[in-house]
Amino acid sequence: MKIGLPRGLLYHSYGPFMEAFLSELPAEIIISEETDRDILDRGTAACIDDACLPVKVYAGHVESLREKCDRIVVPRIMSCEYGESLCPKLNGLPELIALAVVTGLHLWKGNVLLSIGVGTAVYMVLVQAVFV
């Protein structure tokens, strides 16, 4: 199994910890390459226009790992220190992704129950298996 670790956002603070933790698994750890123009372009294409630059860069790192890995670790860190919180857009990524799935599926198929059901399933997978 190959596990991807995006080199963005809090990676530079918590990367060594995440690498050490994941290295204990019987899996190959693949870390995305350094941030460059290609990473930014991939992230810009994958995000909504309102997303900030750090979110677009992070999305670019995830996108660069998508074809190389079986799983991608996207930690859901809500705060780093007492009284401090991170960007709400980052904390709400699972909800944003699920909403995009619901909207896209509804526009494509026009079936409310199908789009809500699939969106809910996507959200549950994201919060239980991806954004851990």
Element (H, E) at 81: none
CA geometry: angle 67, 18, 35, nearest 5 deg: 50
- The yes-or-no verdict on residue 29 having pLDDT over 80 is yes
Residues 6+ apart with CB under 8 A from 98: 119, 120, 122, 123, 126
* Prediction pTM value: 0.69
Quickly state the pLDDT bin for 45 (edges 50, 70, 90).
Answer: confident
Residue 43: both structure tokens together:
């992230």
Q: Edge-to-edge strand order for the sheet containing 71-72?
A: 28-31, 2-5, 71-72
pLDDT at 132: 62
Residue 35's pLDDT is 93
Cβ neighbours of residue 25 closer than 8 Å, sequence gap 6 or more: 1, 3
**48-97 pLDDT tens trace:** 777 888 888 988 898 899 889 988 887 777 777 787 777 777 777 777 77
Using pLDDT thresholds of 50, 70 and 90, give the confidence band for residue 37. Answer: very high
